[in-house]
């Protein structure tokens, strides 16, 4: 069992590197301008994780060859980082195996990490096993210059609209999705609004003798 | 797939660039595509009707659009089109502090605002690692508010659902009871809707002095009037004729489509996150999970009706607990996270606390610093992600929050039950009658503010 478990110590690429206290585009008057912080995602705790988590990991490793890139157990939630080539196989095993039986895909959401070169887009699947009353998170990443992921609609029909929304908001293309069109934005919209490089928009608020800049241009703590 | 573009040389398109005659024509029917469908249909010349229902049809529960293909009155296909109420709440939250997020999420599902706030706050609290530090009184207030809000949301569901099939009284009495609940919310939070009352760490202010007395009045009122709904509808032959066997969706279809809430429970499966994965101390309350076994719109109605009684049961228990815990804190002790609240509601609806102001201005430098830092900078949330699902009146509402360790969320995603459930419109409607679409929609109970976010 243990040789199937992934080594936890794969140093994840940083989410971002920060200097000082303020957001981009404003002078740092706080005196903390020299501070540089590198933000890395949590690696979580070492196995064994707890009651059922290790069983699920071991069972999945039996059914699918090398299914994880990384396993993170953080704040009571188990996250499996899956290579995208394995995603279809993994979700099918997770749904159909009697010991796993994650029947429902409750939510799919995208996250854009511009600083993670080669893995800019992450798509996060939240699975629910009603049989065993367990929850599991799958995380799959793809690079910005090849934003393709296999669709899980064939296994989880509920993911249909969720994947459409993720395509709409992040521009991640789900291959073999039955009808990957925009869902929240108008059909002829250009761009993918939830990407970090997509501006929030907004206009300055003008008062007599003063102007308040739009919220994404204000000086902000971060 | 882009919509078919229609050249409209004479139509003035304000969105077209100079000299761009090829812009999409925006007509009353939408951006071109529906025209194309209708045209193709006219050429085909059979009896199939293509009907565009909404956006803003009175019974589409907001700006929902349905593209329906009918053979006579039989529905061949029904496709929902959403997005008309998309307001970029998730994107906006990435530019505001963690505390302000509460005021954004509350505007998503505006019929059940407390549940949006609860899911968000619980997710942020998990990221902060302060789940065990939330005071008991704050948890009890949350439970009280969630259950009252559940009643209010179910009243809307059965009220407007009834109105759409001609049971107008359901709507008038439903809104009457709901208004009483919103009056109580207003007395406590200052607002009927969009409260931003639940904050990461607790709730924004304690109940005012007369709240328990008002709550007892409200409970008495609801106790008196709830039987009316059952008396009007449960055995009403017209009502049953419209609702029974309509919108059939069995357990396996619910599982495949990730459907939860009353739609799942009316298939006989008692899945309720309050029981299965308790949060906010629901394990300490005595209530039952309601199920029905007909898988149809009538079953959903009966589940909602019975759930209102169960919620009232919880409200009574919460009321007793809150009466016993007067004076206990409603926000975490940690002054770096808990907003300096304890506000008293002024006559103008604004909150302020003279004691607090006196203390920070006159006595405690540290409290002044904490106040200033919490209000301007907020707090930083450790790196990581959390997904917290709770049982909203419509089903599972989940909040996926990602932090990069900053003072603002890196990403917030709401899994709204309505968004998921609208996917089951085709499975419930196709093969049925055109008029039954309205019944199906009412029984799904989508709120477009939450669906489109």
Query: Which pLDDT value is given to residue A28?
Result: 64
Of the given ranges (A112-126, B35-49, B293-307), which has the lowest mean pLDDT?
B35-49
- Cβ <8 Å between B423 and A160: yes
Q: Does domain A2-217 have CATH number 3.30.460.80?
A: yes
Put simply, the chain B residues between 66 and 95 with a CB less than 8 A from any chain A CB are: 82-83, 86, 88, 90-92, 94-95
B234 CA to centre of own chain: 26
A101 shares contact with chain B (CB less than 8 Å): no
Q: Is the pLDDT of residue B14 over 80?
A: no
Cα of A180 to nearest chain B Cα, Å:
8
Per-residue model confidence as pLDDT tens digits over B53-92: 878 776 667 788 888 888 888 898 888 888 898 999 999 9
Question: Contact B161/B304 with Cβ under 8 angstroms?
Answer: no
Residues of B in contact with A187 (CB under 8 A): 1-3, 31, 33
Of chain B, the percentage scoring pLDDT greater than 70 comes to: 88
Confidence of residue A2 (pLDDT cuts 50, 70, 90): very low
Q: Is the pLDDT of residue B35 over 90?
A: no
Report the sign of the C-alpha dihedral through residues A148, B88, B113, B58, in that order.
negative
- Cβ <8 Å between B400 and A222: no
**First CA to last CA distance, chain A:** 42
Residue A178 corresponds to which tokens in the numbers above? 């039955």
Write down the domain spans for chain B: 1-45, 96-343+353-447
- Cβ <8 Å between A220 and B420: no
Candidates A38, A42, A75, partner chain B, best to mutate (most B CBs within 10 A)? A75
Query: Which pLDDT value is given to residue B167?
Result: 86
Which of A106, A182, A188 lies at the smallest CB-CB distance from B389? A106
Distance, in Å, from the CA atom of B254 to the CA atom of B265, rounded to the nearest integer, reads 10
Query: Which pLDDT value is given to residue B28?
Result: 44
Distance, in Å, from the CA atom of A68 to the CA atom of A84, rounded to the nearest integer, reads 10
Q: Is the pLDDT of residue A180 over 70?
A: yes
Q: Is the pLDDT of residue B5 over 60?
A: no
Residue B100 corresponds to which tokens in the numbers above? 């302000």
Q: Is the pLDDT of residue B342 over 70?
A: no
Per-residue model confidence as pLDDT tens digits over A62-108: 888 888 888 888 888 999 999 999 899 999 999 998 888 899 999 99
HEC profile for chain A?
CHHHCCCCCCCCCCCEEEECCECCCCCCCCCCCCCEEEECCCCCCCCCCCCCHHHHHHHHHHHCCCCCCEEEEECCEEEEECCHHHHHHHHHHHHHCCCCCCCEEEEEEEEECCCCCCCCEEEEEEEEECCCCEEEEEEEEECCCCCEEECCCCCCCCHHHHHHHHHHHHCCEEECCCCCCCCCCCCCCCCCCCCCCCCCCCCCEEECCEEECCHHHCCCEC
A99 shares contact with chain B (CB less than 8 Å): no
CATH for B96-343+353-447, among 1.20.1260.10, 1.20.1290.10, 3.40.50.1440, 1.10.645.10?
1.10.645.10
Confidence of residue B32 (pLDDT cuts 50, 70, 90): low
Write down the domain spans for chain A: 2-217
Query: Which pLDDT value is given to residue B348?
Result: 57
* Helices of type H across B48-130: 89-93, 101-105, 113-128
In this prediction the pTM is 0.88
- Cβ <8 Å between B33 and A215: no
Q: What DSSP character marks residue B61?
A: S
Nearest CA in chain B to A112: B411
Confidence of residue B358 (pLDDT cuts 50, 70, 90): confident
Residue B116 three-state SS? helix
Nearest CA in chain B to A195: B91
Query: Residue B168: what are its φ and ψ, rounded to 5°?
Result: -65, -35
Residues of B in contact with A130 (CB under 8 A): 255, 271
Q: In Å, what is the CA distance from A17 to each residue of A21, A24, A116, B87, B434?
A: 12, 12, 11, 30, 57
Query: Which pLDDT value is given to residue A27?
Result: 63
- Residue bearing the bigger pLDDT, B101 or B44: B101
Query: Which pLDDT value is given to residue B61?
Result: 74
Per-residue model confidence as pLDDT tens digits over B408-418: 999 999 999 99
Residue B101 three-state SS? helix
Give the residue among B396, B430, B425 at the shortest CA–CA distance from B60: B425
Question: Contact B443/B161 with Cβ under 8 angstroms?
Answer: yes
Nearest CA in chain A to B406: A222
Confidence of residue B181 (pLDDT cuts 50, 70, 90): very high
Per-residue model confidence as pLDDT tens digits over B385-438: 999 999 999 999 999 999 988 889 999 999 999 999 999 998 998 888 988 998
What residues does A171 pair with on adjacent strands?
A: none
Q: Is the pLDDT of residue B24 over 80?
A: no
């Amino acid at each position: 069992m243990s040789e199937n478990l992934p080594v936890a110590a794969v140093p994840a690429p940083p989410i971002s590197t920060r200097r000082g206290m303020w957001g981009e585009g404003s002078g740092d008057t706080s005196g903390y301008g020299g501070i540089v912080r590198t933000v890395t995602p949590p690696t979580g705790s070492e196995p064994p994780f707890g009651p059922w988590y290790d069983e699920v990991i071991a069972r999945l490793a039996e059914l699918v060859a090398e299914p994880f890139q990384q396993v993170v157990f953080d704040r009571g939630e188990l996250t499996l980082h899956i290579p995208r080539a394995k995603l279809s196989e993994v979700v099918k095993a997770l749904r159909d195996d009697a010991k796993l039986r994650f029947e429902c895909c409750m939510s799919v959401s995208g996250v854009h990490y511009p600083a993670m070169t080669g893995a800019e887009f992450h798509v996060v699947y939240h699975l629910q096993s009603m049989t065993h009353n367990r929850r599991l998170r799958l995380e799959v990443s793809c690079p910005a210059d090849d934003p393709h992921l296999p669709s899980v609609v064939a296994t989880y029909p509920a993911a249909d609209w969720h994947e459409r929304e993720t395509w709409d908001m992040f521009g991640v293309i789900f291959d073999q999705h039955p009808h990957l069109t925009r869902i929240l934005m108008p059909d002829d919209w250009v761009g993918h609004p939830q990407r970090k490089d997509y501006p929030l928009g907004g206009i300055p608020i003008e008062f007599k003798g003063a102007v308040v800049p739009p919220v994404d241009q204000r000086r902000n703590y971060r | 797939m882009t919509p078919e573009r229609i050249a409209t040389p004479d139509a003035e398109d304000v969105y077209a660039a100079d000299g761009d005659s090829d812009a999409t024509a925006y007509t009353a029917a939408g951006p071109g595509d529906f025209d194309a469908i209708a045209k193709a249909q006219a050429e085909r010349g059979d009896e199939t009707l293509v009907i565009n229902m909404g956006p803003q049809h009175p019974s589409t529960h907001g700006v929902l659009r349905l593209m329906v293909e009918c053979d006579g009155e039989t529905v061949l296909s029904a496709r929902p089109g959403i997005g008309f109420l998309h307001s970029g709440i998730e994107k906006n939250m990435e530019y505001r502090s963690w505390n302000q997020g509460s005021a954004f999420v509350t505007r998503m599902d505006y019929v059940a605002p407390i549940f949006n706030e609860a899911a968000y706050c619980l997710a942020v609290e998990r990221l902060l690692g302060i789940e065990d530090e939330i005071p008991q009184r704050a948890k009890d207030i949350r439970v009280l508010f969630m259950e009252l809000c559940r009643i209010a949301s179910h009243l809307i569901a059965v009220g407007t659902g009834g109105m759409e099939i001609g049971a107008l009284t359901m709507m008038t009495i439903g809104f009457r009871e709901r208004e009483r609940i919103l009056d109580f919310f207003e007395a406590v939070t200052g607002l009927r809707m969009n409260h931003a009352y639940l904050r990461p760490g607790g709730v924004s202010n304690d109940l005012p002095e007369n709240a328990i007395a008002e709550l007892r009045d409200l409970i008495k009122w609801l106790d008196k009037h709830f039987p009316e709904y059952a008396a009007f509808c449960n055995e009403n032959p017209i009502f049953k004729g419209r609702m029974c066997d309509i919108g059939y969706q069995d357990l396996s279809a619910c599982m495949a489509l990730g459907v939860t809430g009353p739609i799942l429970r009316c298939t006989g499966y008692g899945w309720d996150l309050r029981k299965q994965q308790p949060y906010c101390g629901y394990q300490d309350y005595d209530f039952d999970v309601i199920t029905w076994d007909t898988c149809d719109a009538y079953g959903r109605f009966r589940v909602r009706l019975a759930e209102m009684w169960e919620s009232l049961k919880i409200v009574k228990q919460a009321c007793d607990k809150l009466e016993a815990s007067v004076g206990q804190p409603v926000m975490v002790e940690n002054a770096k996270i808990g907003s300096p609240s304890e506000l008293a509601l002024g006559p103008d609806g604004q909150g302020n606390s003279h004691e607090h102001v006196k203390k920070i201005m006159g006595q405690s430098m540290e409290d002044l610093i904490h106040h200033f830092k919490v209000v301007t900078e907020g707090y930083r949330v450790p790196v990581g992600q959390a997904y917290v699902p709770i049982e909203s009146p419509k089903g599972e509402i989940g909040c996926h929050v990602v932090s990069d360790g900053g003072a603002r969320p890196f990403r917030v995603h709401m899994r709204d039950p309505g968004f998921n459930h609208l996917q089951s419109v085709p499975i419930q409607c196709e093969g049925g009658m055109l008029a039954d679409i309205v019944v199906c929609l009412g029984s799904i109970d989508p709120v477009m503010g939450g669906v489109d976010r």
